[in-house]
Chains A and B, each alone.
Chain A
């Protein structure tokens, strides 16, 4: 595996090669796939378009250039491999997709670039731009009082006419829950 693909795999706990990953799609900021009929998504914010425009001359789409990776990381402080991924799906399914993406990067390095926002295309490039999938259920409500957030923040040290800022804000937070 090339350097990008290896780096991509770093941090994945275990790899079950036998899982079937289908409908793998790598788009700007978003990777989707189906694993055993279950949807998986991975996302990360892209590298800003301005950075890509600035380094246009150094971008290699046909090989996993270490210089490009270092240029992005050290000069632009925008690592090629995202430091964090938002993962949606069962842990094993996610691991399988991560593995599949590494293989895809090896096969076509531009896939990683695309995920990181390079050469973004319009939605018109999609086969069916108008069709979506099943919307996920919303997460269950957190069973805690709405003023938990300011209570977690604690005293701010910022004075208002009525006391500390947090005491004043708690009135607003309580109203959110009404």
Chain B
């Protein structure tokens, strides 16, 4: 026989006196030790023992039965309490007289042993057990029914209440830290106490309820409290079960009140054909015709409360908008919108009628459905304001449902004609365009595709984003676009394109245009001596391309505004991600017929940037910023909603072209090696230092009469200047901060950041003093960076090279050209950066070759960093133009040939151009 005692630590102990072993726990009961099993409240609430029960177990399980009954009747109330510094939500047990009496009677009948741990007080024992069971049973029932209220991660104004509600409907009562619960506890307690203490005195009135059961519709008579219409019970309950339920809610006589109210409305209803029973009025069944008549004619005229079935109102019907769009010759597309609910079309007249009804109802898909009045009004507003056609942006907004969403409606079916469908298709059906005759560089196949895409969207006036990976030639594709459109339309038919880019890249653009499309008229708007006012406007109109930096564009926005640009091209557009900055606001002021943005980062993964850039390119495409945040940013970033993400991708897909280095269409096309020149600027500090070096060395160079002496001085000066261009610390050795003092280092970091994950990079330098920059480089990149140099032992070199060759090893290896050694085999890397130049092409080639070896499976990119306006740029130009001569002159591997240049050439080479360094611009 199973015994059960209750313990003050909120556990029960189940055991048998006849020696049967029920578990491994032990407890002393009445001075004997028994072996049995402890049961928590959770376990006790669900326990179903199969042994016969002794009196103690019967009594305590009887308490449980009482608790189950109480929960079923809703004899509970919500409570908050602080226990041991933690707040808890739980269901308190209401102790109505009948419950108290029941507990007392159970205690009286229970054997005294149940109270062994309660000093013999049986009443205290059951009173301790009962509320714990009530809370547990209430909680379990809600969890089983799937009722979830509040939030596990509450935020916002209603945090405390949200957490409280969640605590009431989850398995555990503890509330999260954070919200302040004390005020809520006071308010809840006050509300509950008042609710129990006071029984409001207010008469009952009558109302009509529609009930849908088993496919049939019934009109029921209900009683509503006159002071709160939401307090209502059906008249049938009064006839079947008496007045108790009514008297619990209000201090009034339901019989008298019902009789009186019914007498008033009965004639009115009977007149209209709805005759309730006279003695015990309950409900009437309505056939389809009655229902139509009641809902359309009777309901609007009734003054009493009428309640529709919850199935109608809890899930109100949605009004959907169907779109049919076809291409036209004038505007891009014509839109035809139709509204409907289910299979029922709604025109404006019908909507106006519904908007005037108390409870808008439609009969669609074979049944009555309720509409929300708000939805009807929104639908009407949509009909007034909807667009009947538009360009690509309007088409995308319409077909993707954004436009509808903003009205609070749902998009139904979308039918597009073939041409429009093709345009919105993600695998853009555009034609690649071959390299235009005016270009001095053959486009790769994938670049021809990009060229075609840029032209197509450009011709349609649609803003677009070219988001190819770094090194795939975005600039080249843009230049091809500029060249081919002028060849097609005639150079003077188009206005100038304004290219806006980071300051360090402006010169690079200039070089690339000059290199690939020397026929384009290009103007660089930069530096202290740049044109302003009329002079600038005139020059702009005479150019095909004007290049400027973001900083200058912000400063000179008034001048730039005076030009009607054919196109605005934003390079490294991720720099404009914050639409609030002066920079972004200035760009918006520029007048341009069409716009293009270029970026190497996958912007569709960075939602804030995406909105900012899209808003610049195609204003309105993604709606207002706040709406975009609610519709996409919150679901994607906070809730990880894959549907919202997919929907957003579908919307922006027609406007973004992105190819990655390892895409098959790209990879097969690429040459083994691509060389790129990356230009950068000096910082002010570097410029000052550079000039100091020139000023102190040139006189010494000039003073030497003999060649050998001069050569030595020249090489020493060049060496110092090169180190200044690298980083001031390499010359000053002051142990100062590294960041922000070298334009070249910053550019290197930018470029290294764009190396795709999984690829490795080599950085070559002549100077072992680069060691001082390695830690900083690693910190900025957030990746391990190692330095391979002469100071390492053979064992250390071996270890480093092995590590570099493994996928988990360092992603960047800096190699000292001097100590790099011949025969180093580094095919793990496919990105090579020459941080400083050894002006002997053969030596550079060797360094590059270390990456491009047998075993190199990927295409290799070789970058040379060149500081503009300095000797680096001049000597590079010299190398380019005098390649043949230089090859003859340079025998072997030294760059001593520089020392043999004549004085004039040396002076020209080392002169610092006035626009060689960054000027500070406040944005």
Give me the interface of A with B, judged by CB distance under 8 Å.
27-30, 32, 39, 41-43, 45-46, 49, 86-88, 117, 120-126, 128-136, 138-139, 141-161, 165, 167-169, 171-173, 175-178
Contact = CB atoms under 8 A, between A and B. Distances in A.
Given A29-B123, A86-B104, A132-B110, A149 B75 contact: yes
A125 B59 CA distance: 20
B442 interface: no
Most buried by A among B55, B156, B240: B55
A160 B196 CA distance: 22
B105 A41 contact: yes
A135 B142 contact: no
Contacts of B66: 138
A86 B3 CA distance: 27
A146 B165 CA distance: 18
12 contacts: A29-B122, A30-B121, A43-B123, A87-B101, A130-B54, A130-B113, A143-B245, A145-B74, A149-B75, A156-B188, A156-B191, A165-B165
Contact of A176 (B114, B120, B141, B230): B141
Most buried by A among B109, B123, B138, B230: B123
A132 B109 contact: yes
A132 B256 CA distance: 48
Given A30-B123, A123-B113, A130-B54, A157 B191 contact: yes
B119 A49 contact: yes
B145 interface: yes
B36 to A, nearest CB: 15
B119 A144 contact: no
Interface in B87-142: 94, 97-116, 119-124, 127, 138, 141-142
Given A30-B107, A158-B161, A177 B74 contact: yes
Contact of A154 (B65, B108, B113, B195): B195
A141 B73 contact: yes
Given A149-B76, A154-B228, 16 more contacts: A27-B120, A28-B120, A30-B107, A121-B119, A130-B17, A135-B59, A135-B109, A136-B102, A139-B99, A142-B245, A144-B248, A156-B188, A158-B188, A175-B141, A177-B73, A177-B74
Nearest to B74: A146
Interface of B: 3, 17, 30-31, 54-56, 58-59, 62, 65-66, 69, 71-78, 94, 97-116, 119-124, 127, 138, 141-142, 145, 147, 149-150, 156-158, 161-162, 165, 168-169, 184, 187-188, 191-192, 194-196, 199-200, 228, 230-231, 233, 237, 240-242, 244-245, 248-249
Given A121-B119, A142-B244, A178 B145 contact: yes
The DSSP consensus for interface residues of chain B is helix
Nearest to B107: A30
Contacts, number: 233
A122 B120 contact: yes
A112 B149 CA distance: 48
Contacts of B194: 153
Most buried by B among A32, A154, A167, A178: A154
A22 B523 CA distance: 117
B158 A154 contact: no
Nearest to A85: B104
Contact of A143 (B141, B158, B241): B241
B107 A148 contact: no
B374 to A, nearest CB: 15
A132 B55 contact: yes
Contact of A160 (B165, B237, B244): B165
Most buried by B among A141, A142, A161, A173: A142
Contact of B231 (A124, A154, A165): A154
Contacts of A143: 237, 240-242, 244-245
B122 A27 contact: yes
Nearest to B145: A175
A117 B119 CA distance: 9
Contact of B122 (A30, A165, A172): A30
B105 A136 contact: yes
A146 B73 contact: yes
Contacts of B156: 161
Contacts of A28: 119-121, 123-124
Nearest to B68: A138
Nearest to B194: A153
Contacts of A128: 111
Contacts of A132: 55-56, 58-59, 109-111
A80 to B, nearest CB: 17
Contacts of B249: 148, 151-152
Contacts of B228: 154-155
Contacts of B120: 27-28, 120-123, 125-126
A69 to B, nearest CB: 22
Given A130-B56, A132-B59, A171-B147, A145 B119 contact: no
B222 to A, nearest CB: 12
Contacts of A145: 74, 233, 237, 245
Contacts of B111: 128-132
A171 B100 CA distance: 27
